[in-house]
Structures are given as structure tokens and as C-alpha cells.
């Protein structure tokens, strides 16, 4: 406990003996404060020559090396000093100011309160050198109402520094409305703002989206003009940021264009304003203008523009920009690496990703969790999940985002076993999976028809708290059950949802389509429209596909027209493909061919293949041969397409063309991929090919297949003939 300021009896220890017991402290080097907001100025270190000079190093050192032992010693020295006859209480200004600074730095609240009481008893509390110290002391301890009272008590002097400190403290504590109220109170009390007041007040307006107050402050700045404020770049930068955050980009640009002087912050602020508004063209133009003018570019500028290229889908240009940044000598920070790796992920550029990985190692950024997660994502999306797994295994303490990135890496590669292993390891680690984890794994379960794990995840999210409000999670459950053939379970989950959207309806419509329940899909689509949920292009693909699988030709044609006329959705190739399939399945080959011809883009190989297959079913040799020729012209590498064409030529007796097709397949190295299936015998999924007995679990697998074949025969179906039919293809 520090010595009391007002001792009951006179100390017996002499001042000189006390000073001898204090360890020597370095004499502080005078420094120049650049901004009065950050640190109030110190008073004259020796306002009166009669102050003992040996005390100056002690009190001055508290400004540079604040610590509790120094504070205790200084309190004792101050107590002794007060019992010496001093010419004026002003001699205590420097010691008290130093002690207040130390009390603020080491959170010594009781000692600071004693010092404030001392200033009141000595009549020093309104002194310009102590008011900022007292304001900073209370603000440092979160006592903002006391700091406000101290600043207000000194308003008669017109001293603006305490108000600047108070407004900045309110902003640091997230109290923007209090900061703006303090600014307005300062004006009412007749205290004139300075060049450091306006940026803080404008920041408060920006955080409150208070455009009118911001405009009023702008008018005050213009009225006071350069005569009072000088060329204040800080205030103009704050004006740009305020207008941008309040949504008035035109005013922000006008301030920028009219600035007499600009710094790098001015350029970054207006570029960031356009970036936040997704007005990337203007941001790119300003960036090019900076480079033309030869202005210095910092990492903020480079990163903003590179991110803009990613948002506009120009991933190659984003990577070129980062390459230019490296060659220009600019420092690459972790944000640069995350942006660059994101571009590599989206562009599928493994080589560039590896180069960035090497640069991150040299910059010692590869150990940062955000960079490591970006690396895992990059390697997985560029087709190298094994390297992503290596990074994951050698990573330090893993956050949940890292676990999610690794599960997503295996999910992208459809490696169900790897994802299951990492998910199980996550559960054992003590971390609680969040909705992103579950959604990622559910999507994989839907793609590989892993119903068992999907059900386990369903049980998990029902038992655990905190998942109820995530609509994406429940949409994923509907999708998983629908794609796994459990349409009734998908419908129950759908019915239990309170906040359905177009994704909810689309997932269930697609499930009904897969099951051939076209009328149910159409009914669900009509229900979605009745609930004022506007369908998008994905919803239309799902319902048109359902019509195709159920042979609902007239309904499909009506929906296609409504898509253009009512919903104003421009048909894409996916919609044309559904219509071609719809007509082809129904035997309307002329309509299917016409739909192919009017498609805005070149038809895909799958669309021509559907026409070839339909021509065989309905015996239309003319359209079939035409479609086969178009398919051959495309140079498809799908072995199934060549088999379709070969079967067509064989059925029509076109032996010469058949020989050419087989020769072409041989020259191109096209081979029919062997049939591959997955079997789950209770301990995970295992792949096997037709007639394959290399798998060590083959006896168990074939035992299950034999049981299935026996059950099929029991219901009157010949399973061997069924499998043999598809073996031809």
C-alpha cells in the first residue's frame, strides 16, 4: 500500500535520506508529442528553481517507466515534500502530473483518487496541465462519467484538450452516441474544436450513420476554413469515411476531389468506400490513377484491389496483381496471402498456390491460423487433398475453422472416409462442431448417399442446443434425405421448419423429381409461389427435371414459358437441357431438336447424347444419325457416348461408321470405365468393381449381394438379367 498523502503526524525520515534509499532511475529524454489526443503535454519539469533538483528524475521517470515500486517511492517523496515550505503549490504540478500518469498506466485507482483529492485541496484541479491528466486517468479506469465531469469543470478556460480525450475515450468504449453528445456539449459551453476534435466527432457520426450531424460538422469545418484549422488532411479523410459509411458516395468523392492535399490514407479511404459499395470499376480507376501518378502504394491498397478482382471473378488478374506487388518490393502481409490463396482456390491454380505457400513460409506467415486455413482450402480445391491433410496434421493448436477446412477438403474430393475420420477426431478433441461443420458433412453425405452418417448428424443436432435457428442446416437435412431416397423423411423435416425459403422448396422438389413424383413436385412449386417465395433459376431446373422424369410435357412447357414471361428469368443451358430431356423421353424428337437449335449457347455433349438415346427408343434414325454426327464433332471423351453411337450404328447396319467409331475410341484412348459400387457392411464404405475379388472384404460383400439377389428373385425380378442389361453400357 502506498504512503498516504496527508499523514497524521510529521514524518521523522528526512527527505535527503529517503532519496538516498531510492535506486537510481534514468533521466528521461524529452520527447515531442505529435498529437494531444494520445498523451497530454507535461508541464515545465522545473517550474520553480526552489524545487529540489534531486526529485526531478524520480517524477519524470514515472512518465517513461510507470511501475508500482516507483509509484510507492514517489508517493513517499511527495508526502515529505509537502512538509517543506514551498514558495507556491504550483511546484507540485509536475510531481502530481507524473503520479497521475503512472496511476493511469498501472491501474492504481485508489492512488489516483487521492491525487485528485489533493488537487482539489490545493486548488490546482482547474490547471491546464492537470485537467487532461485527470480526464485520462478516469477514462483509463472506465469511469467515463467522472472523466466527463472533469472535462466539463474546465470548460470556462476554453481548453479543448480534455474534451478531445473524453470524445476519444467514448469511441474506444463503443459509445458513439455519448461521443457525439460530448462534442455538442463542448460547443454549447463555448469551447472551440481544433483539428483533432473533428476527426473523432466525424467518426462518431459514421458509426451512428448520422448523416445530418456529419453534414453539420462539415459546414463548421468549411466556415472555420484554413485560417483556423490549416490544411487539415485528417479532417478531410474523416469526412470521406463518414460520407461513405452513411451511404453518400457522391459527397465522399466530392470531398476527395476538392482536397488541396492528399495522403495515402485519403486514397485508401475513397478506394475502400467504393469497395464497400461494390463499385469496383471506380476503385480500379482510382488505383490505376495512383500508379500513373507514381504515388506510394501500401499493402491496404494492393489488398483492396486484389480482393476486388476476386469479387468480379477475374482471378487471374488478382494473381498478377499480387505478383506485381511482390516485385515492387511491397511487404506482403497475412491478408495478402489469404486473398492470393483464395484466388488460387477459385482459379484452380495449384502452381501459383504453391508459389504463394513458399512466399508465406519466407515471410513467416504460414503458421498463422488464417493463412494455414487458406492453404488447406487451396490445396483441396486444386485437387491435392493429401497435401492439405499433411498441413492439417503438422499444424499447431487447431481452431474449429481449421477442422472445418479439413472436413471440407475431404468433402470436395468426395472422400467420405477421410471426412468421417476427421469429424470423429474433432468430436474426441473436445471442440463442439458448429453448424458449418455439420452442413459441410451433411452435403457430403447427400452426394455419396451416406444415409447412416446423415441420420447420426440429424440426431446430434436435435439433441444439442443452438442449432434451431440455422435454416441452412435444416435445408441440408432435407437435401440429404431427398437425395438418399428417403423422401417421406425429407418431407417431415421440411414440414417441421418454420422459416422455409426457396432452397428448402427446391431441395424437396428435386427429391420428388428423382423419385418420379412429378405431380407432388409441381404441387410443392405452386405452394412456394403462393407463399410469395420467388423461384430462382435453380428452382426452375428442379421442377423442369421433375416434369421430365414424370413425362409431364404440357406442364413443363407451361413452366418454361412462365419462367421467361412471369418470373423474368433468362433461360440457361440447364433449362434447355431439361426441356430437351423432357421432349426426348416423351418421343417428341422434333421438338427436342428444335430446342437444341434455339439454345443461346452450343449444346453440351450430354444433350446430344440424350437425343441419340431417345432416337433408338423411338426408332427415329434420321434425327439419331444427325445427333450422333454432332456428338462425334464435339470430340467427347465420355465412353458412354461412344457406346450409344456404336449401338445406333449397329442397329441401323452402318458397319463402316461403326468401325470408324471403334477405331476413333482406340486412337483417343477412350476406355469404358468399369462399373464401381460401394458397400457398407457396418464399419464404413468399401468400393468394389464388377467381378472384383481383390478387396480383402470381398467374401462379406458378395454375401450381402447374394442376399439382395435372393430377395429380388423372391419378388419376381431376375436380378442377374437386370445387372446384365446395364453391363452392355
In a domain, residue 129? The reply is yes
How many Cβ atoms sit within 10 Å of the Cβ of residue 55? 22
Question: What integer pLDDT is reported at residue 64 of this predicted model?
Answer: 52
Question: What integer pLDDT is reported at residue 203 of this predicted model?
Answer: 93
Residue 56 clears pLDDT 60, i.e. is over it = no
The pLDDT-based confidence of 338 (bands split at 50, 70, 90) is: very high
| Gap between the Cα atoms of 114 and 72, Å rounded | 13
Of residues 14 and 652, more confidence is placed in: 652
In a domain, residue 68? The reply is yes
Residue 353 clears pLDDT 80, i.e. is over it = yes
Query: 626 and 715, same structural domain?
Result: no
Angle at 671 between CA 685 and CA 726, to 5 degrees: 60
The pLDDT-based confidence of 34 (bands split at 50, 70, 90) is: very low
Query: 726 and 622, same structural domain?
Result: no
Q: Return the CATH number at 626.
A: 1.25.40
Residue 609 clears pLDDT 70, i.e. is over it = yes
Which range has the worst mean pLDDT, 63-72, 140-149, 187-196, 238-247? 63-72
Neighbouring C-alpha atoms within 13 Å toward the C-beta of 403: 24
Query: 614 and 688, same structural domain?
Result: no
Counting beta carbons within 10 angstroms of the beta carbon of residue 705, is it exposed (0 to 12), middle (13 to 18) or buried (19 or more)? middle
Query: 683 and 668, same structural domain?
Result: no
In a domain, residue 656? The reply is yes
Question: What integer pLDDT is reported at residue 60 of this predicted model?
Answer: 55
**What mean pLDDT do residues 357-370 have?**
91
Query: 605 and 727, same structural domain?
Result: no
In a domain, residue 103? The reply is yes
Which range has the worst mean pLDDT, 119-123, 444-448, 500-504? 119-123
| Gap between the Cα atoms of 718 and 711, Å rounded | 10
Residue 231 clears pLDDT 90, i.e. is over it = no
Among candidate residues 208, 210, 255, 206, the one with its CA nearest the CA of residue 232? 255
Query: 85 and 18, same structural domain?
Result: yes
Residue 257 clears pLDDT 70, i.e. is over it = yes
Of residues 64 and 570, more confidence is placed in: 570
The pLDDT-based confidence of 104 (bands split at 50, 70, 90) is: confident
**Which of 107, 139, 158 lies at the terminal end of a domain, its last residue?**
158
The pLDDT-based confidence of 183 (bands split at 50, 70, 90) is: very high
| Gap between the Cα atoms of 274 and 267, Å rounded | 11
Contacts for 394 with CB less than 8 Å, ≥ 6 apart: none
- In the DSSP assignment, the letter for residue 482 is H
Query: 8 and 125, same structural domain?
Result: yes
The total of structural domains in the chain comes to 3
Q: Cell numbers at residue 639, please?
A: 465412353
Return phi, psi of residue 718, to 5°.
Answer: -90, 100
The pLDDT-based confidence of 131 (bands split at 50, 70, 90) is: confident
Contacts for 692 with CB less than 8 Å, ≥ 6 apart: 698
What percent of the chain has pLDDT above 70? Answer: 81
**Which of 642, 673, 704 lies at the terminal end of a domain, its last residue?**
673
Cα 64 to chain centroid, rounded:
40
Counting beta carbons within 10 angstroms of the beta carbon of residue 264, is it exposed (0 to 12), middle (13 to 18) or buried (19 or more)? middle
Residue 477 clears pLDDT 90, i.e. is over it = yes
Query: 640 and 690, same structural domain?
Result: no
In a domain, residue 521? The reply is no
In a domain, residue 137? The reply is yes
Residue 314 clears pLDDT 60, i.e. is over it = yes
Cα 353 to chain centroid, rounded:
20
Which range has the worst mean pLDDT, 146-150, 154-158, 201-205? 154-158
Strand-pair category, 676-680 with 685-689: antiparallel
Residue 45 clears pLDDT 50, i.e. is over it = no
| Gap between the Cα atoms of 134 and 601, Å rounded | 73
In a domain, residue 524? The reply is no
Residue 86 clears pLDDT 90, i.e. is over it = no
**Which of 673, 688, 720 lies at the terminal end of a domain, its last residue?**
673
Residue 112 clears pLDDT 90, i.e. is over it = no
Q: Do 356 and 366 contact (CB within 8 A), yes or no?
A: no
Question: What integer pLDDT is reported at residue 67 of this predicted model?
Answer: 56
| Gap between the Cα atoms of 243 and 218, Å rounded | 10
Query: 721 and 640, same structural domain?
Result: no
Among candidate residues 467, 402, 459, the one with its CA nearest the CA of residue 429? 402
How many Cβ atoms sit within 10 Å of the Cβ of residue 553? 18
Query: 604 and 727, same structural domain?
Result: no
Residues in the chain: 729
**What mean pLDDT do residues 200-228 have?**
86
Mean pLDDT of the chain: 81
DSSP codes joined into one string, 226-237: HHHH-S-HHHHH
Q: Could you read off the pLDDT of 519-570 as tens digits, one per residue?
A: 999 999 999 999 999 999 999 999 999 999 998 999 999 999 999 888 888 9
List the end-to-end C-alpha distance of the chain, in Å, as a whole number: 90
Return phi, psi of residue 113, to 5°.
Answer: -65, -40
Residue 51 clears pLDDT 80, i.e. is over it = no
pTM over 0.75: no
Among candidate residues 555, 541, 553, the one with its CA nearest the CA of residue 513? 541
Q: Cell numbers at residue 542, please?
A: 428442379
Query: 133 and 149, same structural domain?
Result: yes
Question: What integer pLDDT is reported at residue 1 of this predicted model?
Answer: 39
Strand partners, 677: 688
Neighbouring C-alpha atoms within 13 Å toward the C-beta of 315: 12
In a domain, residue 338? The reply is no
Neighbouring C-alpha atoms within 13 Å toward the C-beta of 331: 7
DSSP codes joined into one string, 125-151: TT-TTTHHHHHHHHHHTT-HHHHHHHH
**What mean pLDDT do residues 475-500 have?**
91
Q: Do 511 and 520 contact (CB within 8 A), yes or no?
A: no
**What mean pLDDT do residues 60-73 have?**
57
| Gap between the Cα atoms of 462 and 86, Å rounded | 77
Question: What integer pLDDT is reported at residue 223 of this predicted model?
Answer: 81
Residue 729 clears pLDDT 80, i.e. is over it = no
Residue 707 clears pLDDT 90, i.e. is over it = no
Of residues 17 and 572, more confidence is placed in: 572
- Domain encompassing residue 660: 600-673
Which range has the worst mean pLDDT, 382-386, 467-471, 634-638? 634-638
| Gap between the Cα atoms of 116 and 123, Å rounded | 10
Query: 1 and 111, same structural domain?
Result: yes
Neighbouring C-alpha atoms within 13 Å toward the C-beta of 249: 13
Which range has the worst mean pLDDT, 145-154, 227-236, 279-288, 570-579? 227-236
Among candidate residues 236, 296, 303, the one with its CA nearest the CA of residue 270? 236
Amino acid at each position: 500500500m502506498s504512503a498516504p498523502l496527508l499523514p497524521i503526524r510529521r514524518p521523522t525520515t528526512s527527505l535527503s535520506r529517503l532519496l538516498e534509499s531510492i535506486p537510481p532511475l534514468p533521466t528521461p529524454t524529452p520527447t515531442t508529442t505529435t498529437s494531444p489526443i494520445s498523451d497530454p503535454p507535461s508541464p515545465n519539469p522545473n517550474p520553480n528553481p526552489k524545487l529540489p533538483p534531486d526529485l526531478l528524475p524520480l517524477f519524470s521517470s514515472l512518465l517513461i517507466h510507470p511501475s508500482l515500486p516507483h509509484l510507492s517511492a514517489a508517493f513517499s517523496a511527495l508526502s515529505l515534500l509537502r512538509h517543506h515550505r514551498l514558495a507556491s503549490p504550483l511546484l507540485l504540478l509536475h510531481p502530481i502530473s507524473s503520479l497521475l500518469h503512472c496511476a493511469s498506466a498501472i491501474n492504481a485507482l485508489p492512488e489516483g483518487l487521492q491525487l485528485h483529492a489533493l488537487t482539489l485541496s490545493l486548488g490546482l484541479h482547474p490547471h491546464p496541465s492537470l485537467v487532461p491528466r485527470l480526464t485520462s486517468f478516469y477514462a483509463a479506469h472506465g469511469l467515463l462519467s467522472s472523466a466527463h465531469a472533469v472535462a466539463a469543470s474546465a470548460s470556462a478556460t476554453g481548453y479543448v484538450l480534455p474534451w478531445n480525450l473524453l470524445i476519444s475515450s467514448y469511441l474506444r468504449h463503443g459509445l458513439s452516441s455519448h461521443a457525439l453528445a460530448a462534442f455538442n456539449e463542448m460547443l454549447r459551453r463555448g469551447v472551440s474544436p481544433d483539428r483533432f476534435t473533428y476527426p473523432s466527432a466525424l467518426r462518431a457520426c459514421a458509426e451512428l450513420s448520422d448523416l445530418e450531424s456529419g453534414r453539420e460538422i462539415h459546414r463548421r469545418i468549411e466556415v472555420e476554413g484554413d485560417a483556423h484549422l490549416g490544411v487539415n488532411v485528417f479532417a478531410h479523410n474523416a469526412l470521406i469515411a463518414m460520407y461513405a459509411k452513411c451511404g453518400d458516395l457522391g459527397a465522399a468523392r466530392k470531398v476527395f476531389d476538392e482536397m488541396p492535399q492528399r495522403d495515402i490514407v485519403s486514397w485508401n479511404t475513397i478506394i475502400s468506400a467504393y469497395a464497400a459499395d461494390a463499385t469496383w470499376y471506380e476503385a480500379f480507376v482510382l488505383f490505376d490513377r495512383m500508379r500513373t501518378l507514381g504515388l506510394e502504394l501500401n499493402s491496404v491498397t494492393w489488398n483492396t484491389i486484389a480482393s476486388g478482382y476476386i469479387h468480379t471473378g477475374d482471378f487471374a488478374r488478382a494473381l498478377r496483381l499480387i505478383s506485381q506487388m511482390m516485385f515492387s518490393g511491397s511487404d506482403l502481409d497475412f491478408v495478402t496471402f489469404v486473398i492470393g490463396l483464395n484466388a488460387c482456390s477459385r482459379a484452380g491454380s495449384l502452381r501459383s498456390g504453391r508459389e504463394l505457400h513458399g512466399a508465406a513460409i519466407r515471410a513467416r506467415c504460414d503458421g498463422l491460423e488464417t493463412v494455414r486455413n487458406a492453404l488447406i482450402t487451396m490445396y483441396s480445391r486444386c485437387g491435392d487433398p493429401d497435401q492439405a491433410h499433411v498441413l492439417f496434421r503438422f499444424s499447431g493448436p487447431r481452431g474449429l475453422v481449421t477442422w472445418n477446412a479439413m472436413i471440407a477438403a475431404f468433402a470436395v474430393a468426395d472422400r467420405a472416409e477421410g471426412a468421417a475420420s476427421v469429424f470423429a477426431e474433432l468430436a474426441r478433441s473436445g471442440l463442439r462442431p458448429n453448424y458449418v461443420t455439420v452442413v459441410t458433412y451433411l452435403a457430403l453425405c447427400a452426394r455419396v448417399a451416406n444415409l447412416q452418417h446423415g441420420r447420426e448428424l440429424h440426431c446430434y443436432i436435435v439433441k444439442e442446443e443452438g442449432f434451431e435457428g440455422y435454416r441452412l442446416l435444416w435445408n441440408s437435412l432435407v437435401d440429404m434425405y431427398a437425395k438418399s431416397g428417403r423422401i417421406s423423411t425429407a418431407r417431415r423435416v421440411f414440414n417441421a421448419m418454420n422459416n422455409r425459403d426457396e432452397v428448402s422448396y427446391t431441395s424437396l422438389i428435386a427429391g420428388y423429381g428423382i423419385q418420379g413424383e412429378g405431380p407432388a413436385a409441381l404441387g410443392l412449386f405452386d405452394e412456394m409461389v403462393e407463399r410469395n417465395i420467388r423461384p430462382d433459376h435453380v428452382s426452375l431446373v428442379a421442377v423442369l427435371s421433375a416434369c421430365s422424369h414424370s413425362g409431364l410435357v404440357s406442364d413443363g412447357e407451361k413452366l418454361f414459358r412462365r419462367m421467361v414471361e412471369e418470373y423474368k428469368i433468362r433461360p440457361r443451358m440447364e433449362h434447355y437441357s431439361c426441356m430437351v430431356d423432357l421432349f426426348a423421353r416423351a418421343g417428341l424428337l422434333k421438338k427436342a431438336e428444335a430446342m437444341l437449335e434455339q439454345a443461346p449457347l452450343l449444346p453440351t455433349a450430354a444433350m446430344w447424347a440424350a437425343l441419340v438415346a431417345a432416337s433408338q427408343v423411338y426408332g427415329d434414325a434420321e434425327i439419331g444419325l444427325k445427333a450422333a454426327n454432332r456428338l462425334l464433332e464435339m470430340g467427347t471423351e465420355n465412353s458412354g457416348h461412344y457406346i450409344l453411337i456404336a449401338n445406333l450404328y449397329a442397329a441401323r447396319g452402318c458397319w463402316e461408321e461403326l468401325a470408324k467409331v471403334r477405331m476413333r475410341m482406340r486412337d483417343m484412348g477412350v476406355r469404358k470405365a468399369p462399373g464401381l459400387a460401394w458397400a457398407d457392411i457396418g464399419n464404413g464404405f468399401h468400393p468394389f468393381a464388377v467381378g472384383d475379388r481383390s478387396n480383402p472384404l470381398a467374401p462379406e460383400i458378395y454375401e450381402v449381394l447374394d442376399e439382395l439377389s435372393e430377395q429380388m428373385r423372391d419378388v419376381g425380378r431376375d436380378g442377374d438379367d437386370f445387372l446384365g442389361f446395364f453391363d452392355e453400357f
